Amino acid sequence: MRHASDTGAQSPPPGGMFSGMFSRYVSPDTVLADLDKVVRGVSQAVALARDDLAEYRRWRPDIVADATERGLANWIHDRLWVHLVAELDGVPGVQIRDDEPHREIFVGLGYRLRVKRHHVDGNVSTYPTEGALAFFVQEPTLDGLEEIRLAVGYEWDRDSRSIGDPLISLRDGLDNVVWVVPLPDATAGSGQLHDLTPPALSGPAAPTVDLPSDNEQETESE
C-alpha cells in the first residue's frame, strides 16, 4: 500500500485533513470494510475485462497492435464499466450514474467512486477538466457529512499494454496521492475471490498527471 509519504504527496495538515473538519483521511482498512461487496465487484470486473482484452488480441491482434493508447484505454474502460455495472446490480446501498460521459458509483451516504486507469507511479488517466479536477479534492465538511471520493480500476503496464492488479485509491487533488491499495484478483467467471487482505505495493514513486494529446479524445472526460 502506498501512503502520501511514499509517493511524495503532501501530508494532511496538523490536526487532521481540515482543521475542525475531518479528523483524518479515511484509512484503506475502513474503506475495504465499508465497501466489501463493491471492491469484490471491482476485482471480478477487472478480471473479466482482462479476459476480454486477451480475447480481443486473439481475434484481431493487428487491430489491438495498431490502437492508440487512448483508443485502447477507452475500449477497456467500456468493457470494465459493463462488467462492473453487472457485478454491482442489486447490491444494497449502491447507486450507479451512467449518463455518458458521466459514470459514477455512489455507495451509501458517504462514498463516490469513478473508474480510472492507474499507472505504476500512482497517477490516474483523466482529461483535466474543471469537473475532473474537482472530483479528486476531498472537500471540507462537518463530521458525518463528508463525501469520500475514490478511484477504482486497475494498474496498467504501458510497456506490455496489459491489465494488472485491480486497485482502489484515495487522493486529495489529482496529483496528491494519499494511498493506493491493490485488490487481490478474482478468478474471471467463477465468482470466487481470494482473501481481500491488501498486499503491499513496492517502491515509492511520485505521481504525475497523464495528459492526452490534442488529437486524442477521452470518454472519461467531464
pTM for this model (two decimals): 0.73
Instruction: Specify the pLDDT at position 212.
Output: 43
- Cα–Cα–Cα angle for 77, 79, 83, rounded to 5 degrees: 115
Q: What is the pLDDT of residue 31?
A: 94
For strands 162-171 and 177-182, give the pairing: antiparallel
Looking at residue 185, its pLDDT comes to 74
pLDDT for residue 187 is more than 80: no
Higher pLDDT pick, 60 / 4: 60
Query: How many beta carbons lie within 10 A of that of residue 183, not counting itself?
Result: 23
**Section 96-102 average pLDDT:** 87
Return d(Cα 160, Cα 174) in angstroms, integer. 25
pLDDT of residue 109: 80
For residue 209, pLDDT beyond 90: no
What number is the average pLDDT over the span 49-54?
Answer: 97
pLDDT tens digit string along 58-67? 999 999 999 9
pLDDT band at 24 (very low <50, low <70, confident <90, very high): low
